[in-house]
């Protein structure tokens, strides 16, 4: 982890009210994770214990303690997408993902009238069928 970049992120948010949440977002975005080294530096800067910072990292789904280099496919598995048949697509998507792609379930991307929906590298997809989803997973 690049210390100068970490320091820059900490310095950018340090004096804001409720600084921890935006700080963690930036660290996660820059490094793909919030590891023990980052937790220590953040705790020090905000006069918190490392446990308090780690508590944030473990609580929120968006933060991860270790970097996972695999491409991520987020597939919505909430009620509205279930009503439109997402569960039937899951086995094929899992098979296409294998170990190479991190197929993550999310609860709602807000495209609820046109599911099943997914998000890959920031781009949204709706109205997916099995063939389209498998293709997206393969090319992720």
Partner 1 sequence: MSTVRISDDALAAALGAEELVAAFEKAGCTVERVSSWGMQWLEPLVEIDGMGFGPARPEDVAAILDGTSTKAIGLITEHPFIKGQQRLTFARAGKTRPLSLEDYQASGGWTALTRSRAMDRADVVAEVIESGLRGRGGAGFPAGIKWRTVMEAAGDEKYVVCNADEGDSGTFADRMLMEGDPFQLIEGMAIAAHAVGAGQGYIYVRSEYPHAIAKLEAAIALAHQHIAPFQLEVRVGAGAYVCGEETSLLNSLEGKRGEVRAKPPLPALEGLFGKPTVVNNVLTLAAIPHIMAEGGSGLYAQLGIDRSKGTMPIQLAGNIKHGGLYETAFGINLDRLINEIGGGTASGRPVKAVQVGGPLGAYIPPSQFHLPFDYEAYTAADALIGHGGVTVFDESADMGAMARFAFQFCAAESCGKCTPCRIGSTRGVELIDRIRTGGKVHADAVETLPQMHNARKAGRTREEELALLDDLMEAMQFGSLCALGGFTPYPVRSALKHWPEDFGE
Binding residues for partner 1, rule: CB under 8 A, are 17-22, 24-25, 46, 52, 55-56, 59-63, 76, 78-84, 106-115, 117, 119, 122, 124-127
Question: Considering the complex, what minimum distance in angstroms separates the CB of residue 83 from partner 1?
Answer: 4
Using CA atoms of 50, 42, 17, 8 in order, give the dihedral in degrees to the nearest 10.
Answer: 180
Cβ 99 to partner 1, closest distance in Å? 23
Task: Give 100 or 135: the residue with its C-beta nearer to partner 1.
Answer: 135
Of 99 and 126, the one with the shorter C-beta distance to partner 1 is: 126
Residues pairing with 106 in the sheet: 76
50 Cβ neighbours under 8 A, 6+ residues apart: 36, 39, 40, 43
CA distances, 123 to each of 35, 74, 140 (Å):
27, 10, 11
**Token output for 45:** 């800067």
Q: In whole angstroms, how close is the CB of 33 to partner 1 at the nearest point?
A: 14
Nearest approach, Cβ of residue 111 and partner 1 (Å): 5
| CB contact at 8 A, 135 and 92 | no
Q: What DSSP character marks residue 45?
A: H
Specify the residue, 55 or 98, whose C-beta has the smaller distance to partner 1. 55
Which C-beta is closer to partner 1: that of 51 or that of 99? 51
């Amino acid at each position: 982890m690049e210390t100068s970049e970490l320091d820059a992120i900490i310095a950018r948010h340090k004096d804001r009210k409720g600084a921890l949440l935006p700080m963690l977002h930036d660290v996660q975005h820059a490094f793909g994770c919030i590891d023990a080294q980052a937790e220590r530096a953040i705790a020090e800067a905000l006069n918190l214990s490392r446990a308090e910072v780690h508590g944030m990292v473990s609580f929120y789904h968006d933060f991860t303690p270790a970097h996972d280099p695999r491409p991520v496919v987020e597939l919505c598995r909430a009620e509205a997408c279930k009503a439109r048949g997402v569960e039937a697509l899951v086995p094929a998507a899992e098979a296409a993902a294998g170990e190479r792609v991190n197929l993550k379930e999310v609860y709602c991307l807000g495209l609820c009238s046109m599911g099943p929906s997914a998000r890959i590298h920031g781009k949204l997809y709706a109205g997916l069928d099995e063939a389209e989803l498998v293709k997206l997973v393969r090319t992720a």
